[in-house]
Amino acid sequence: MSDEDRTQPASKRRLQLAREQGQVAHSPELTAAVGWLVALVLLGSWGGDLIRGLAMLTRAPLEAVPVAIDAGRFVADLRAAALAIAAPLAVLVLGFAAGAVAAHQAQVRGLWAPSLLAPDASRLWSVGRGGGLGAGLERIAWAAIKAVLLVVVSAWAIRAEWAELQRLGLLAPAELASASGRVVVWPLGVLGAVMVAVGLADLGLRLARFEAMLRTTPDEHREDQKAMEGDLSLRARRRRLARAWRGDAPELLAGATLVVTGAGGLTVVIGGGPPPRRVNVRSAAKGPTGFQLRHSNRTVWIPEIEAPALALRLGPYAANAPGAPETLPADLLAALAAAWPAPAPGPRRPA
Protein backbone atom coordinates (compact mmCIF):
# COMPACT_ATOMS: atom_id res chain seq x y z
CA MET A 1 0.00 0.00 0.00
CA SER A 2 1.52 3.31 -1.10
CA ASP A 3 1.78 6.44 0.99
CA GLU A 4 -0.60 8.23 -1.42
CA ASP A 5 -3.45 6.02 -0.16
CA ARG A 6 -2.87 7.02 3.46
CA THR A 7 -4.86 10.23 3.45
CA GLN A 8 -6.38 10.06 6.95
CA PRO A 9 -4.62 11.31 10.09
CA ALA A 10 -3.57 8.92 12.83
CA SER A 11 -6.58 7.54 14.68
CA LYS A 12 -6.89 7.45 18.46
CA ARG A 13 -6.62 3.67 18.38
CA ARG A 14 -3.30 3.70 16.53
CA LEU A 15 -1.91 6.40 18.78
CA GLN A 16 -2.96 4.37 21.82
CA LEU A 17 -1.41 1.16 20.48
CA ALA A 18 1.82 2.95 19.62
CA ARG A 19 1.98 4.48 23.08
CA GLU A 20 1.43 1.07 24.71
CA GLN A 21 4.44 -0.19 22.73
CA GLY A 22 6.55 2.78 23.84
CA GLN A 23 6.51 4.47 20.43
CA VAL A 24 6.24 8.20 21.13
CA ALA A 25 7.86 11.04 19.22
CA HIS A 26 10.62 12.71 21.24
CA SER A 27 13.92 14.44 20.54
CA PRO A 28 17.12 13.33 22.31
CA GLU A 29 18.70 16.63 21.22
CA LEU A 30 16.05 18.64 23.06
CA THR A 31 16.42 16.41 26.12
CA ALA A 32 20.18 16.98 26.19
CA ALA A 33 19.75 20.73 25.60
CA VAL A 34 17.46 21.16 28.61
CA GLY A 35 19.85 19.17 30.79
CA TRP A 36 22.70 21.33 29.49
CA LEU A 37 20.90 24.54 30.44
CA VAL A 38 20.11 23.23 33.94
CA ALA A 39 23.76 22.30 34.44
CA LEU A 40 24.77 25.74 33.16
CA VAL A 41 22.55 27.45 35.73
CA LEU A 42 24.07 25.32 38.48
CA LEU A 43 27.52 26.09 37.14
CA GLY A 44 26.89 29.74 37.90
CA SER A 45 26.37 28.81 41.56
CA TRP A 46 28.84 25.96 42.05
CA GLY A 47 31.36 26.67 39.31
CA GLY A 48 33.54 28.81 41.57
CA ASP A 49 34.00 25.96 44.03
CA LEU A 50 34.89 23.59 41.21
CA ILE A 51 37.49 25.98 39.76
CA ARG A 52 39.02 26.59 43.18
CA GLY A 53 39.21 22.85 43.82
CA LEU A 54 40.94 22.26 40.49
CA ALA A 55 43.33 25.16 41.14
CA MET A 56 44.18 23.71 44.55
CA LEU A 57 44.95 20.31 43.04
CA THR A 58 47.16 21.93 40.43
CA ARG A 59 49.01 24.11 42.92
CA ALA A 60 49.48 21.52 45.69
CA PRO A 61 52.21 19.42 43.95
CA LEU A 62 54.19 22.59 43.26
CA GLU A 63 54.37 23.59 46.90
CA ALA A 64 56.87 22.27 49.42
CA VAL A 65 55.74 18.94 50.82
CA PRO A 66 57.22 17.04 53.77
CA VAL A 67 59.61 14.24 52.98
CA ALA A 68 57.75 11.83 55.25
CA ILE A 69 54.02 11.78 55.93
CA ASP A 70 51.98 9.38 57.99
CA ALA A 71 49.17 7.31 56.54
CA GLY A 72 46.41 9.18 58.37
CA ARG A 73 47.54 12.55 57.03
CA PHE A 74 47.85 11.14 53.52
CA VAL A 75 44.31 9.72 53.56
CA ALA A 76 42.93 12.99 54.94
CA ASP A 77 44.61 14.99 52.16
CA LEU A 78 43.23 12.66 49.51
CA ARG A 79 39.72 12.85 50.99
CA ALA A 80 39.83 16.66 51.11
CA ALA A 81 41.08 16.88 47.53
CA ALA A 82 38.39 14.47 46.28
CA LEU A 83 35.56 16.24 48.11
CA ALA A 84 36.71 19.63 46.83
CA ILE A 85 35.94 18.44 43.29
CA ALA A 86 33.34 15.71 43.82
CA ALA A 87 30.73 17.86 45.60
CA PRO A 88 30.31 20.62 42.96
CA LEU A 89 30.81 18.12 40.12
CA ALA A 90 28.09 15.85 41.54
CA VAL A 91 25.69 18.81 41.72
CA LEU A 92 26.31 19.57 38.03
CA VAL A 93 25.90 15.93 36.95
CA LEU A 94 22.74 15.39 38.99
CA GLY A 95 21.30 18.68 37.75
CA PHE A 96 21.95 17.66 34.14
CA ALA A 97 20.30 14.27 34.72
CA ALA A 98 17.25 15.78 36.46
CA GLY A 99 16.75 18.36 33.70
CA ALA A 100 17.12 15.75 30.96
CA VAL A 101 14.65 13.35 32.61
CA ALA A 102 12.12 16.16 33.13
CA ALA A 103 12.41 17.27 29.49
CA HIS A 104 12.02 13.70 28.25
CA GLN A 105 8.93 13.05 30.38
CA ALA A 106 7.40 16.33 29.21
CA GLN A 107 7.84 15.28 25.56
CA VAL A 108 6.36 11.80 26.03
CA ARG A 109 3.62 13.09 28.40
CA GLY A 110 4.58 10.93 31.35
CA LEU A 111 5.16 7.66 29.50
CA TRP A 112 7.27 5.29 31.59
CA ALA A 113 8.36 2.05 29.90
CA PRO A 114 11.23 0.38 31.80
CA SER A 115 10.91 -2.71 29.57
CA LEU A 116 12.40 -0.75 26.66
CA LEU A 117 15.64 -0.36 28.63
CA ALA A 118 16.27 -4.11 28.47
CA PRO A 119 18.75 -5.29 25.80
CA ASP A 120 17.14 -6.30 22.52
CA ALA A 121 19.29 -7.83 19.79
CA SER A 122 16.67 -7.07 17.11
CA ARG A 123 17.44 -3.36 17.42
CA LEU A 124 20.85 -3.99 15.88
CA TRP A 125 19.22 -5.18 12.64
CA SER A 126 17.64 -2.23 10.85
CA VAL A 127 17.00 -3.80 7.44
CA GLY A 128 13.36 -3.32 6.45
CA ARG A 129 12.75 -0.68 9.08
CA GLY A 130 13.14 3.06 9.24
CA GLY A 131 11.11 4.07 6.17
CA GLY A 132 13.45 2.94 3.39
CA LEU A 133 16.45 4.51 1.71
CA GLY A 134 14.91 7.96 1.35
CA ALA A 135 14.12 8.26 5.04
CA GLY A 136 17.60 7.00 5.93
CA LEU A 137 19.27 9.60 3.73
CA GLU A 138 17.04 12.27 5.24
CA ARG A 139 18.12 11.32 8.76
CA ILE A 140 21.80 11.23 7.77
CA ALA A 141 21.54 14.68 6.16
CA TRP A 142 19.78 16.15 9.20
CA ALA A 143 22.37 14.62 11.57
CA ALA A 144 25.17 16.14 9.48
CA ILE A 145 23.48 19.55 9.52
CA LYS A 146 23.11 19.42 13.31
CA ALA A 147 26.74 18.39 13.82
CA VAL A 148 28.08 21.10 11.51
CA LEU A 149 25.89 23.76 13.13
CA LEU A 150 27.00 22.87 16.66
CA VAL A 151 30.68 22.75 15.67
CA VAL A 152 30.48 26.13 13.92
CA VAL A 153 28.68 27.78 16.84
CA SER A 154 31.12 26.29 19.36
CA ALA A 155 34.12 27.47 17.36
CA TRP A 156 32.65 30.95 17.01
CA ALA A 157 31.82 31.21 20.73
CA ILE A 158 35.32 30.09 21.75
CA ARG A 159 36.94 32.40 19.20
CA ALA A 160 34.94 35.36 20.54
CA GLU A 161 36.34 34.75 24.06
CA TRP A 162 39.83 33.68 22.99
CA ALA A 163 41.53 36.80 24.30
CA GLU A 164 39.84 36.43 27.68
CA LEU A 165 40.79 32.76 27.83
CA GLN A 166 44.45 33.65 27.27
CA ARG A 167 44.27 36.28 29.99
CA LEU A 168 43.16 33.70 32.55
CA GLY A 169 46.67 32.25 32.64
CA LEU A 170 47.99 35.53 34.06
CA LEU A 171 45.54 35.74 36.96
CA ALA A 172 46.14 34.68 40.53
CA PRO A 173 44.14 31.73 41.89
CA ALA A 174 41.87 34.06 43.88
CA GLU A 175 40.74 35.93 40.77
CA LEU A 176 40.85 32.88 38.52
CA ALA A 177 37.62 31.35 39.82
CA SER A 178 35.39 34.37 39.26
CA ALA A 179 37.01 35.39 35.97
CA SER A 180 36.88 31.89 34.50
CA GLY A 181 33.20 31.62 35.42
CA ARG A 182 32.33 34.72 33.42
CA VAL A 183 34.45 33.66 30.46
CA VAL A 184 33.22 30.07 30.31
CA VAL A 185 29.51 30.60 31.00
CA TRP A 186 28.85 32.86 27.99
CA PRO A 187 30.07 30.42 25.28
CA LEU A 188 28.29 27.57 27.03
CA GLY A 189 25.10 29.64 27.19
CA VAL A 190 25.26 30.40 23.46
CA LEU A 191 25.83 26.73 22.71
CA GLY A 192 22.91 25.78 24.97
CA ALA A 193 20.56 28.21 23.21
CA VAL A 194 21.55 26.79 19.82
CA MET A 195 21.03 23.25 21.16
CA VAL A 196 17.51 24.16 22.28
CA ALA A 197 16.70 25.61 18.85
CA VAL A 198 18.08 22.52 17.12
CA GLY A 199 16.18 20.28 19.56
CA LEU A 200 12.87 22.02 18.87
CA ALA A 201 13.40 21.69 15.12
CA ASP A 202 14.33 18.03 15.57
CA LEU A 203 11.21 17.44 17.67
CA GLY A 204 9.04 18.99 14.96
CA LEU A 205 10.57 16.72 12.30
CA ARG A 206 10.16 13.65 14.48
CA LEU A 207 6.51 14.51 15.16
CA ALA A 208 5.89 14.90 11.42
CA ARG A 209 7.55 11.53 10.71
CA PHE A 210 5.60 9.87 13.51
CA GLU A 211 2.28 11.22 12.24
CA ALA A 212 3.15 10.15 8.69
CA MET A 213 4.02 6.64 9.92
CA LEU A 214 0.63 6.26 11.63
CA ARG A 215 -1.50 7.72 8.82
CA THR A 216 -4.26 5.40 7.58
CA THR A 217 -6.38 4.79 4.53
CA PRO A 218 -10.09 5.72 4.68
CA ASP A 219 -11.03 2.05 5.20
CA GLU A 220 -8.52 1.62 8.02
CA HIS A 221 -9.72 4.85 9.61
CA ARG A 222 -13.32 3.62 9.62
CA GLU A 223 -12.27 0.28 11.10
CA ASP A 224 -10.33 2.04 13.86
CA GLN A 225 -13.29 4.28 14.63
CA LYS A 226 -15.60 1.27 14.79
CA ALA A 227 -13.18 -0.53 17.13
CA MET A 228 -12.93 2.48 19.44
CA GLU A 229 -16.48 3.86 19.28
CA GLY A 230 -18.61 0.94 18.08
CA ASP A 231 -20.92 0.85 15.06
CA LEU A 232 -21.28 4.44 13.82
CA SER A 233 -24.78 3.91 12.41
CA LEU A 234 -26.00 2.45 15.70
CA ARG A 235 -24.45 5.34 17.63
CA ALA A 236 -26.16 7.84 15.32
CA ARG A 237 -29.48 6.10 15.85
CA ARG A 238 -29.05 6.21 19.62
CA ARG A 239 -28.20 9.91 19.45
CA ARG A 240 -31.37 10.58 17.46
CA LEU A 241 -33.42 8.68 20.03
CA ALA A 242 -31.79 10.58 22.88
CA ARG A 243 -32.51 13.91 21.19
CA ALA A 244 -36.08 12.82 20.62
CA TRP A 245 -36.56 11.84 24.26
CA ARG A 246 -35.24 15.19 25.45
CA GLY A 247 -37.74 17.09 23.27
CA ASP A 248 -41.29 16.52 22.03
CA ALA A 249 -40.33 13.16 20.45
CA PRO A 250 -41.44 13.88 16.86
CA GLU A 251 -39.06 11.23 15.51
CA LEU A 252 -40.35 8.50 17.81
CA LEU A 253 -43.97 9.10 16.86
CA ALA A 254 -43.42 9.67 13.14
CA GLY A 255 -45.01 6.78 11.22
CA ALA A 256 -46.44 5.16 14.38
CA THR A 257 -49.87 3.52 14.20
CA LEU A 258 -50.66 2.73 17.85
CA VAL A 259 -49.55 3.78 21.34
CA VAL A 260 -49.99 1.29 24.20
CA THR A 261 -49.76 2.70 27.72
CA GLY A 262 -49.25 1.03 31.08
CA ALA A 263 -48.47 1.75 34.72
CA GLY A 264 -45.62 4.04 35.82
CA GLY A 265 -45.59 6.01 32.58
CA LEU A 266 -44.82 2.94 30.46
CA THR A 267 -45.49 3.87 26.84
CA VAL A 268 -44.95 1.56 23.85
CA VAL A 269 -45.01 2.93 20.29
CA ILE A 270 -46.19 0.46 17.62
CA GLY A 271 -45.57 0.72 13.89
CA GLY A 272 -47.31 -1.16 11.08
CA GLY A 273 -50.29 -3.42 11.69
CA PRO A 274 -52.90 -4.15 12.59
CA PRO A 275 -52.23 -7.92 12.70
CA PRO A 276 -52.03 -10.03 10.61
CA ARG A 277 -50.07 -7.29 8.89
CA ARG A 278 -46.43 -6.87 9.90
CA VAL A 279 -46.04 -5.18 13.30
CA ASN A 280 -42.88 -3.73 14.83
CA VAL A 281 -42.34 -2.22 18.26
CA ARG A 282 -40.61 1.05 17.43
CA SER A 283 -39.70 2.16 20.95
CA ALA A 284 -40.63 1.87 24.60
CA ALA A 285 -40.17 4.33 27.45
CA LYS A 286 -41.28 4.71 31.03
CA GLY A 287 -41.23 7.32 33.74
CA PRO A 288 -40.90 10.99 32.70
CA THR A 289 -39.91 9.97 29.16
CA GLY A 290 -43.05 7.88 28.79
CA PHE A 291 -45.26 10.71 30.02
CA GLN A 292 -43.50 13.02 27.55
CA LEU A 293 -44.40 10.63 24.74
CA ARG A 294 -48.05 10.67 25.80
CA HIS A 295 -48.00 14.45 25.92
CA SER A 296 -46.51 14.59 22.41
CA ASN A 297 -49.19 12.21 21.15
CA ARG A 298 -51.85 14.80 21.94
CA THR A 299 -50.61 16.82 18.98
CA VAL A 300 -50.30 14.01 16.41
CA TRP A 301 -53.50 12.05 17.31
CA ILE A 302 -52.14 8.50 17.07
CA PRO A 303 -54.62 5.92 18.43
CA GLU A 304 -53.84 5.18 22.06
CA ILE A 305 -55.04 2.34 24.28
CA GLU A 306 -54.44 1.66 27.95
CA ALA A 307 -53.37 -1.97 28.46
CA PRO A 308 -50.80 -2.37 31.28
CA ALA A 309 -50.32 -6.14 30.85
CA LEU A 310 -49.95 -5.86 27.08
CA ALA A 311 -47.51 -2.94 27.42
CA LEU A 312 -45.33 -4.98 29.79
CA ARG A 313 -45.20 -7.84 27.29
CA LEU A 314 -44.41 -5.55 24.34
CA GLY A 315 -41.65 -3.57 26.11
CA PRO A 316 -38.82 -6.14 25.70
CA TYR A 317 -39.45 -6.25 21.93
CA ALA A 318 -38.81 -2.52 21.41
CA ALA A 319 -36.09 -1.60 18.93
CA ASN A 320 -34.31 0.50 21.57
CA ALA A 321 -34.21 -2.40 24.06
CA PRO A 322 -30.88 -4.29 24.32
CA GLY A 323 -31.03 -7.69 22.61
CA ALA A 324 -34.60 -7.22 21.41
CA PRO A 325 -35.97 -10.05 19.19
CA GLU A 326 -36.83 -9.09 15.64
CA THR A 327 -40.32 -10.69 15.50
CA LEU A 328 -43.21 -10.93 17.94
CA PRO A 329 -44.47 -14.37 19.02
CA ALA A 330 -47.83 -15.55 17.75
CA ASP A 331 -49.63 -15.32 21.11
CA LEU A 332 -48.47 -11.74 21.58
CA LEU A 333 -49.63 -10.84 18.07
CA ALA A 334 -53.01 -12.36 18.86
CA ALA A 335 -53.32 -10.33 22.08
CA LEU A 336 -52.32 -7.17 20.22
CA ALA A 337 -54.87 -7.86 17.46
CA ALA A 338 -57.61 -8.31 20.06
CA ALA A 339 -56.75 -5.00 21.74
CA TRP A 340 -56.28 -3.05 18.50
CA PRO A 341 -58.92 -0.32 18.28
CA ALA A 342 -61.31 -0.16 15.38
CA PRO A 343 -60.57 2.55 12.81
CA ALA A 344 -62.27 5.81 13.70
CA PRO A 345 -64.31 7.63 11.05
CA GLY A 346 -62.25 10.80 11.58
CA PRO A 347 -59.15 12.09 13.33
CA ARG A 348 -59.19 11.60 17.09
CA ARG A 349 -59.15 14.82 19.06
CA PRO A 350 -57.41 14.90 22.40
CA ALA A 351 -59.71 15.09 25.37
Q: What is the 3-state secondary structure (H, E, C) of 82-131?
A: HHHHHHHHHHHHHHHHHHHHHHHHHHHCCCCCHHHHCCCHHHHCCCCCCC
- Give the count of domains, the chain: 2
For residue 297, the domain's CATH number is: 3.40.1690.10
The reply to whether 237 and 220 lie within a common domain is no
Which of the listed residues 224, 243, 275 is the one where a domain comes to its end?
224
Please state which of the ranges 76-80, 127-131, 310-314 shows the lowest mean pLDDT: 127-131
In a domain? residue 350? no
* Position 169 in a domain: yes
Q: Tell me: do 34 and 181 sit in the same domain.
A: yes
CB 52 within 8 A of CB 182: no
**Same domain flag for 188 and 42:** yes
Q: How far apart are CA 15 and CA 252, in angstroms?
A: 39
The model's confidence at residue 96, banded by pLDDT at 50, 70 and 90, is very high
What predicted TM-score, i.e. pTM, was given to this entire model?
Answer: 0.52
CA 166, CA 79: separation in Å to the nearest integer? 32
Distance CA 311, CA 318 (A): 11
**Last residue of some domain: 224, 248, 272?**
224
Cα 20 to chain centroid, rounded: 11
Asked whether residue 150 carries a pLDDT value surpassing 80, the answer given is yes
> Residue 306 is part of which domain span?
233-339
Lowest mean pLDDT among 78-82, 185-189, 224-228, 302-306: 224-228
Residue 33 pLDDT grade (very low, low, confident, very high; cuts 50, 70, 90): very high
pLDDT band at 196 (very low <50, low <70, confident <90, very high): very high
Percent of the chain with pLDDT over 90: 9
The pLDDT of residue 209 is 86
Residues 324 and 319: their CA atoms lie apart, in Å, by 6
Same domain, 250 and 138: no
State residue 349's pLDDT score.
Answer: 47
